[in-house]
Structure 1
Amino acid sequence: MTKEREWQSWSLKKKIGQLFVFGFHGYEPTEQMKKLIAANGIGGTIYFSRNVKDAKQVHKLSGELQSLAKHAGSPPLFVAIDQEGGMVARLVKGVTLMPGNMALGAAGLAEGARETARICGEELRQLGITMNYAPCIDVNNNPENPVINVRSYSDRSDVVAELGAAAVAGYQAARVAATVKHFPGHGDTAVDSHHALPILLHGRERLDAIELKPFRAAIEAGTDCIMTAHVCLPALDPSGEPSTLSEEVITGLLRKELGYDGVVVTDCLEMDAIDKSYGPEQGAIKAIRAGADMVLISHTFEKQWAALEAVAAAVEKGDLTEARINEALDRIMMLKKKLELDEPLLPWTQVEEAIGTEANKAAARRWSEASVTLVKNEGSLLPISRSESTLVLWPEIVPVSVADEMLSGDGSLGSFLTELGANVVERQMNGVNPLADLECFSQIVVVTYDASKHPLERDIACEAVRLAPDRTIAVSVRNPLDLLLYPDVKAYLAVYECRPLALAAAAKALLGDLEPTGKLPLEISAAYPFGWSAAANG
């Protein structure tokens, strides 16, 4: 990238602005965001749930933000989002919500990862979203990982590599930049980098065999972007710097050794792993110096503004070279050109007809149903009878991201069973005496979300199994490792998210209307290894 580009003659301030992606609060551009665009010409923005009502509002917001950039004389913005599918999705209403990674891992076909990513990408692009911070290609090989878990396809690096590369192809076929994350790997951490700095002590041979393999595949697949992890790996950088700030990791390993020449974006610098030790100002300087092209600061205007000024001051003082700024800017502008960001949004009336279509919903449903995994069925407890009385015990914890779907009354497992003609009573686990009068029910379905983190889920499941061992079936609606906490249950069904699509599929499987074809995408135990299915092996 030595050839002179016209943007290399821009002012330093304008160049630096393009290296930042900033978030904001609200459904419309705030005065602070308007100032960041007008005064600094920032490179992009990111949507969180706080910015999203529904598809129509997002379409309008994207148009407003791009109008602000155009009025300021700046290049079009990257508009980014974390739309991984499943449990990590900022945009739900009015679009086709796809299954998440572990569900696709259970379905086990690259075609599923590619098709769901393509459809998701096509709908995002219609709404003016041009960069998806997905897929997550961390290898889920630590049961204690608090932040990756079902965001990973599998605990096998080969599976993650294959499905991750397929997803990259799907997103980019839709002209949305795929952003694989979190380099060089966040799957084997027991610490959430939102709250502290994880340290991985693996040697280089192990990292090559597991963590780095999916990233090599994504690079070969031509991923537009790679997001760094706030993770310390002494085998790669003995200094103790987080990978996001490490020249050895970004420039040495990713650029020189792995040969990646696309855009590198940081994870958010307001996460505690960076914010508490460095702050976004020094974090931004260090990240850019290390080789990152774009810096993500998701929340606080004062920190965003300070980071912009800090990077400019660092260049002026010689602590950061303008050549490094030009190099990053080159990659950013070439990607913007490739994505044709100056293409105007279609009118909402046309967009509305192109998103959330019946064909797209059918594809999402097909892959969600393909993920349903029958892990145990001792005593032939499944399928359950429609006519017999059934108690469904619902988890105490309802994730905020899906609360509106769950609490509306039409998004729980019990509601889907009832819709299919089952005789159901549904109770919240944290209600009064949820296990009262168990003798009145012929069938008991215990639903758990993440029982290792929520003791009441574990205790209720174990007690139901103890009191009614020959009538109790467990359904995991997130973490399949829940089986380890109530191992004596005789029947166990795993779906990998508690979105309505997965719950509808689980209801069909419980009633025998759907034959579970999914296979475990990770090892639960020696008895239930990777690839296990009671339907196939029982």
Structure 2
Amino acid sequence: MKIRLVFLVGLFLSFNSLVSGQQRPNFVEFINSQHDWVDSVYNKLNKKKRIAQLFMVRAHTNLGQNYIDSVAKVIKKEGLGGVVLFQGGPVRHANLINEYQAVSEVPLLFALDGEWGLGMRLPDSTVSYPYQMALGAIQDNDLIYRMGREIAKDFKRLGLTVNFAPVVDVNNNPRNPVINYRSFGEDKRNVTRKGGAYMKGMMDEGIIVSLKHFPGHGDTDVDSHHDLPVLSFSRERLDSLEMYPFRELIKEGASGVMVAHMNIPSLDNTPNLPSSLSEKVISEILKGELGFKGLTFTDAMDMRGVVKYFKNGEADVRAIIAGNDILELSQDSKRAIKAVRKAVRQKRIDKDDLERRVKKVLASKYWLGLDNIKPVNLQNLYSDLNRRASLQLSQTLADHAITVLKGKRKLSELSFTRKTAIISIGTNELSPFQRILNDRLDNELPFLLSENATADEVSRVSSALRNYDQVIVALHDSRTRPGSTLRYNSTVKLFISQLASTSAHFVLFANPYTLASLPGIEAANSLMIGYQNDETLQRAAAKVILREIEATGKLPVTVNTFFKYGDGQ
């Protein structure tokens, strides 16, 4: 039977008016205070289920009913504290949330990686905002605050309570395989301003956020999903750069921080010890020196970066010893809970400290109003998650991100009546960018070249261009995760270089770092950056060409000596 609380009427009225109305209690202060509901729930749980409140299990709704049912059994039997949702569909997710809340003795936290909104995990049926790299180009941070609020509204509508976002890693390594376009860029202050706006928007709507990945995952060329990265930087460097956004946003009341799996000898010289398992990194630096008192989440505990050297549940035990409040995606939660209980008996884990952390997790549920939980309403769910205001804001963000790196005056001289060739490279079908311009430019003709176009295909397009007065070239990266280099073959790259030496105008719908892999592109007549192969960014670039908007974005990273941080005309 689900635990309920009869508590003081005054507290009930006060808290519920705050949750539903004008002012919400400060999260960090709230979860570190005593509450009757929390004590009541805690006292009714056995030792195993108290520990289980610190664990979140993985769930999908695209893997079949048997999978969904198996996770439900684990939640019910082990009494886990939360669920991290991955791929599936919004209605299926809502049904799953209702089912899991119904079988759980204590209301569950539901989290999702929504760095660019629900679309990060549910791309086919919910709104995706621009990636953080594109947002890093925007000069109006209020737009990002508004985005945070819209994303939080979507989370609440679906029954989610925690967003593992924003990423506040300072990406100063173009070869970074795991952060990269997920970062606001290379400037610590710009990252802090953007991350703060996003964070406050979500928190003001009542969602728990998780800044990631402490103490900073931006300057590594190893993906911690597959191995343990080693950061060899000095403590001074980490203090002044990587940890800067976390320090500043903790001061601004961040509700959660996620700790990365990285070995950092200058912070803890224990061989092969990930930062997520380091007492020095979490208890001494994050909680002690930086004064963080919100919820500390581990990154996923099934990642190779954390379990490579600590197997059979030892990683989970060490994560608790280190000071984490919530462990995300243990390889085996049953084994982990048993190992933690053993560590308590062996006095490796302090019993009183463990109790405080369990009560912090319960208090976060109380802050969210989960003491009075209601099922997710399925009626109009799809339309509610695809609000006109959200779609308009996504386009507005794209309009403000688009960046002209060179040739702004020449771009403005493009004629709407002269014979124009529009070439899309890296795609096999007519792009939204081409379709928009097709409707507005006279005497135009679109051309398509794949990333592996043959010499004959390139030659035919090259010959045809002699019949046109002006040429617009769109460079696309069709991958879901835009890499730092384009997969164009050498023939296509040579053609791009040749076009750049003419009067052609270029638009890049890809990661800005890819400019370094295109020799000669710096000579282009004009060059505009759209950051990703997304319809909103393509529409924004077309608007600039059609002189419907003015590009105001600034490059958030340095690509090479030709294209540097802050460039934008």
The TM-score with structure 2 as length reference comes to 0.83
Q: Which residue pairs with 1:330 in the alignment?
A: 359
Q: Which residue pairs with 2:49 in the alignment?
A: 14
Report how far residue 205 of structure 1 moved: 1.7
Contact 2:118 2:126 in 1 (8 A): no
Between the aligned partners of 1:468 and 1:435, the Cα distance in structure 2 is: 15
Q: Which amino acid aligns with 2:535?
A: P
Give the secondary structure class of the aligned counterpart of 2:181.
helix
Change (3 A) 1:455 1:388: same
Give the secondary structure class of the aligned counterpart of 2:257.
strand
Report how far residue 391 of structure 1 moved: 4.3
Where do 1:456-495 residues align within 5 Å? 456=488, 460-466=492-498, 469-489=501-521, 490=524, 491-495=526-530
Contact 1:231 1:242 in 2 (8 A): yes
Q: Which residue pairs with 2:123 in the alignment?
A: 92
Change (3 A) 1:411 1:379: closer
Q: Which residue pairs with 1:356 in the alignment?
A: 386
Between the aligned partners of 1:353 and 1:454, the Cα distance in structure 2 is: 36
Report how far residue 411 of structure 1 moved: 6.2
Q: Which amino acid aligns with 1:268?
A: A
Give the secondary structure class of the aligned counterpart of 1:249.
helix
Give the secondary structure class of the aligned counterpart of 1:279.
coil
Contact 1:413 1:504 in 2 (8 A): yes
Between the aligned partners of 1:413 and 1:89, the Cα distance in structure 2 is: 23
Q: Over residues 284-315 of structure 1, what are the superposed CA-to-partner deviations in whole Å (9 max), with x where a residue is unaligned?
A: 111111000111117x6xx3433333323333
Q: Which amino acid aligns with 1:435?
A: V
Q: Which residue pairs with 2:403 in the alignment?
A: 373
Q: Over residues 263-296 of structure 1, what are the superposed CA-to-partner deviations in whole Å (9 max), with x where a residue is unaligned?
A: 1111111211112222361111111110001111
Report how far residue 8 of structure 1 moved: 4.0
Query: Is 1:439 matched up with 2:463?
Result: yes
Contact 1:20 1:295 in 2 (8 A): yes
Report how far residue 124 of structure 1 moved: 1.3
Change (3 A) 1:355 1:375: same
Paired residue total = 513
Between the aligned partners of 2:300 and 2:204, the Cα distance in structure 1 is: 27
Report how far residue 88 of structure 1 moved: 7.7
Between the aligned partners of 1:272 and 1:147, the Cα distance in structure 2 is: 14
Contact 1:280 1:297 in 2 (8 A): no
Mark the structure with the bigger radius of gyration. Answer: 2
Q: Over residues 318-355 of structure 1, what are the superposed CA-to-partner deviations in whole Å (9 max), with x where a residue is unaligned?
A: 43333332122122111111111343145222545533
Where do 1:108-257 residues align within 5 Å? 108-240=139-271, 241-257=273-289
Q: Which residue pairs with 1:308 in the alignment?
A: 337
Picking from 331, 338, 350, the partner of 1:321 is 350
Change (3 A) 1:412 1:311: farther
Q: Over residues 2-42 of structure 1, what are the superposed CA-to-partner deviations in whole Å (9 max), with x where a residue is unaligned?
A: 96933443211111111111113434562321121111111
Contact 1:383 1:511 in 2 (8 A): no
Change (3 A) 1:155 1:87: farther
Between the aligned partners of 2:459 and 2:313, the Cα distance in structure 1 is: 57
Between the aligned partners of 2:490 and 2:254, the Cα distance in structure 1 is: 41
Contact 2:157 2:376 in 1 (8 A): yes
Q: Over residues 439-464 of structure 1, what are the superposed CA-to-partner deviations in whole Å (9 max), with x where a residue is unaligned?
A: 21342514143574444267623432
Contact 2:319 2:327 in 1 (8 A): yes
Between the aligned partners of 2:116 and 2:415, the Cα distance in structure 1 is: 32
Q: Which amino acid aligns with 1:532?
A: D
Contact 1:146 1:190 in 2 (8 A): yes
- Residue identity over aligned pairs, in percent, reads 29
Q: Which amino acid aligns with 1:325?
A: L
Change (3 A) 1:16 1:527: same
Change (3 A) 1:36 1:217: same
Change (3 A) 1:392 1:43: farther
Query: Is 1:60 matched up with 2:89?
Result: no
Give the secondary structure class of the aligned counterpart of 1:111.
helix
Q: Which residue pairs with 2:296 in the alignment?
A: 264
Q: Which residue pairs with 2:114 in the alignment?
A: 83
Q: Which amino acid aligns with 2:212?
A: K
Q: Which amino acid aligns with 1:215?
A: F
Change (3 A) 1:467 1:356: closer
Change (3 A) 1:476 1:39: same
Contact 1:86 1:497 in 2 (8 A): no
Between the aligned partners of 1:323 and 1:221, the Cα distance in structure 2 is: 29
The TM-score with structure 1 as length reference comes to 0.88
Contact 2:55 2:327 in 1 (8 A): yes
Report how far residue 257 of structure 1 moved: 0.8
Report how far residue 412 of structure 1 moved: 5.0
Change (3 A) 1:165 1:381: closer
Which deviates more, 307-316 or 99-108? 307-316
Report how far residue 483 of structure 1 moved: 1.9
Between the aligned partners of 1:519 and 1:87, the Cα distance in structure 2 is: 26
Report how far residue 125 of structure 1 moved: 0.9
Change (3 A) 1:529 1:332: same
Between the aligned partners of 1:32 and 1:312, the Cα distance in structure 2 is: 24
RMSD between superposed Cα atoms in Å: 2.7
Structure 1, unaligned runs of 5 or more: 397-406
Between the aligned partners of 2:350 and 2:426, the Cα distance in structure 1 is: 54
Q: Which amino acid aligns with 1:365?
A: Q
Between the aligned partners of 2:211 and 2:202, the Cα distance in structure 1 is: 11
Give the secondary structure class of the aligned counterpart of 1:364.
helix
Contact 1:448 1:457 in 2 (8 A): no
Which deviates more, 102-111 or 288-297? 102-111
Contact 2:94 2:376 in 1 (8 A): no
Between the aligned partners of 2:267 and 2:40, the Cα distance in structure 1 is: 36
Between the aligned partners of 2:463 and 2:82, the Cα distance in structure 1 is: 59
Which deviates more, 28-37 or 254-263? 28-37
Change (3 A) 1:485 1:251: same
Q: Over residues 106-131 of structure 1, what are the superposed CA-to-partner deviations in whole Å (9 max), with x where a residue is unaligned?
A: 01232122111111111111011111
Report how far residue 531 of structure 1 moved: 1.5
Q: Over residues 472-494 of structure 1, what are the superposed CA-to-partner deviations in whole Å (9 max), with x where a residue is unaligned?
A: 44433232122222242203211
Q: Which amino acid aligns with 2:488?
A: L
Change (3 A) 1:43 1:416: farther
Which deviates more, 449-458 or 422-431? 449-458
Between the aligned partners of 1:367 and 1:467, the Cα distance in structure 2 is: 30
Q: Which amino acid aligns with 1:426?
A: L
Contact 1:83 1:91 in 2 (8 A): no
Picking from 523, 530, 535, the partner of 2:558 is 523
Between the aligned partners of 1:35 and 1:462, the Cα distance in structure 2 is: 58
Between the aligned partners of 2:300 and 2:252, the Cα distance in structure 1 is: 25
Q: Which amino acid aligns with 1:357?
A: R
Query: Is 1:427 matched up with 2:449?
Result: yes
Which deviates more, 475-484 or 103-112? 475-484
Give the secondary structure class of the aligned counterpart of 1:436.
helix
Report how far residue 192 of structure 1 moved: 1.1
Report how far residue 65 of structure 1 moved: 2.1
